[in-house]
Structure 1
Amino acid sequence: MPRIHCSVCGIASDQLAAPTVSPQFAPDLDTRPGEPLRSTLPAWMQLCPNCGYAAPDLAYAAELVPNWVRTSDYRSLTDAFERHAWLLEQLGYLADAGWITLQAAWNHEDGNDLDAARRCRRKAIRLFQASKAAGQDFLDTPAEELALAVDILRRIGEFEAAAETIRIALQEEELPEMLEAVLRFQTGLVQRRDTGRHTLDEVPRGPAGEKPVRLT
């Protein structure tokens, strides 16, 4: 466990170091990696016990961060992932803020706080929408972005919005067959009003030899 000096307050503290592991199982449809990587989530974000600064690496902070860490808006957030996402949003990194907010949802689910997980997913979709409006992509292609949006919307029970997003995504040119399969699988989940977690392994396989879609 490395001892890290906080770049905001200078206090040293012991922090978890994220182990270098690769997922051995399929990811969730919202891209959360499979085990054993998914269990390393607590080590993805460090939190200074003195000033409350949260970051993947406490040794670095952008110039304005020390002032923001002292604000009531920042301190009202208790989850380290949400705190770091808030800082990224202030810095204008909206796509990154969306991803960290989605990770906050995963973290809340692990703590069985499903209301907080839904709240974070709602915030994540708003941040992703804002990032696109600002010209910031959050995945490699529009089709991949739409597929991620579908799962987030479905997980929070926004079934009509999820269905409309599926319709738009299926109209994308050069849509990979595996991604089309994911979207059609999501159609069934939306019709059943299913808000549960599902993995890529559950999606019916495409033609033999087809490369799987990469959603991260």
Structure 2
Amino acid sequence: MTVVAIDGPSGSGKSTISRQVAQQLGMAYLDTGAMYRAAAWWCVRDGIDLSDADAVTDAVRALPLQMGTDPRDPSIAVGGEDVSVLIRSTEISTVVSAVATNLEVRAELRRRQREIIEAARGEAGIVAEGRDITTVGAPDADVRILLVASEEARLARRAREIHGADDDSALAATRDQVLRRDADDATVSSFHVAADGVVTVDSSDLTLEETVAAVRGLVESRQDGRP
């Protein structure tokens, strides 16, 4: 079955678009970014110094993570505890890059991502989204998409998501989180320019529905055998 990989910067709509496309096409869904958030939450909970790369790596290798792949309810649990809400806190958003830029952590979580993707490949197929998924996580995916948007559009979307508004104060409160996270993550992955074989979809001037339709069209073209 079809494997779809969707990459892009913060606020480009990766999660929302991926979930909707997966749900509409009856496919599984994997939020790889949530795996890094769960790893960060696990380390913070245990009081691990995030600047101690070896300690963080050891903790993540022991991380009892369970990733749900139902796009209608993509649950995330650690040791049986639902952390879906906890990992979206400002505290975790602020520190997640310290974990996500650890190369040994990335190698461990990519290994787990590939296991999930391979399991879904033999079933309904899967839409996997997140940093470097098109180039490193799932470079052999049937459909690889880089979802981009202008800085202004990305900031406005994330501000509405976090603060419920996109006025000047909300944008200012969001700017550092979005741009700093991108800058940090760019040190270990590339998600601004499409690699060979990766299709770019620019959602700057598209509605949510239009973007979903564009991505879905690419997936359906591949499923139908069209170039």
Q: Same fold (TM over 0.5)?
A: no
Give the alignment's TM-score, normalised by structure 1.
0.32
Larger relative contact order, structure 1 or 2 (CA cutoff 8 Å, min sep 6): 2
